[in-house]
Structure 1
Amino acid sequence: MAPVTITVLYPNVQDATFNMEYYLQTHMPLAQQHFGQHGLIGYRVQKLLSTATGDPAPYSVMCLLEFPDRAAWDNAVTQAAGPVMADVANFSNKEPTFLIGEGVGGNVAVSKI
């Protein structure tokens, strides 16, 4: 089975609120606690700045959740998503969009600065 990346996107609309401090300090450790026992390998959080053309990004925050395979993600959602999803209202007034991607190739370069 191939690894999967779950992309979680929070909308960038006029009436949206998002508490990044709460998200990083409370919500993501909660997600790690509940999803970690079901295969979560790690996550990355990105504050989205703009599109490549300079237009406002349609989303304000993106979180990438890494799982070893689709079955691990499905199990995490089935067994542990309740407390994680219930916490969304504590940092955002908008529901996120979830995208599931399966790894098919790529190369990650690491540079030293």
Structure 2
Amino acid sequence: MIKVSVLYPKTDDSQFDMAYYRDSHMALVRERLGKACQRTAIEQGLAGGTPGSAPTFIAMGHMYFDSLSDFETAFGPHAREILKDIPNFTNVQPTVQISEVVE
């Protein structure tokens, strides 16, 4: 199984509309990726590792797939539409990490 993580860095001027992300963007993602996407998870950053510090990421979205090829096949045809929606909920450029889930 693989996990595709989309990480939204916290900056001094970062803005993030969690309600839109949760209710509209991730609904779009789930609809377009279909059954290839086994599940999704959303995280909202609260704090950094040091008491009183800001979180490194304002938010994170995770999608789980059986394989990298399943993700690529499902995402490819919808990439433009999904990426075009990003300015509707944030002004930051996300970072993507694809990982193998080992446990």
TM-score (norm 2): 0.91
Superposed CA RMSD in Å reads 1.2
Structure 1 residue 99: Cα displacement: 0.1
Give the gaps of 5 or more residues in structure 2: none
Task: Report 1:71-86 matches (<5 A).
Answer: 71-86=69-84
* Matching residue of 1:43: 40
Higher strand share: 2
4+ residue runs over 4 A deviation: none
* Matching residue of 1:91: 89
- Which protein is bigger by CA-based radius of gyration? 1
Q: SS at the partner of 1:41?
A: strand
* Matching residue of 1:58: 56
Q: Partners in 2 of 1:53 and 1:101 — Cα distance?
A: 26
Give the gaps of 5 or more residues in structure 1: 107-113
Query: Are the aligned partners of 1:34 and 1:81 in contact in 2 as well (CA < 8 Å)?
Result: no
Q: Partners in 2 of 1:27 and 1:41 — Cα distance?
A: 17
Structure 1 residue 51: Cα displacement: 2.4
TM-score (norm 1): 0.84
Q: 1:37-94: per-residue Cα shift (whole Å, max 9, x none)?
A: 5x11110101111223233222110111111111011112322211111100101111
Higher helix share: 2
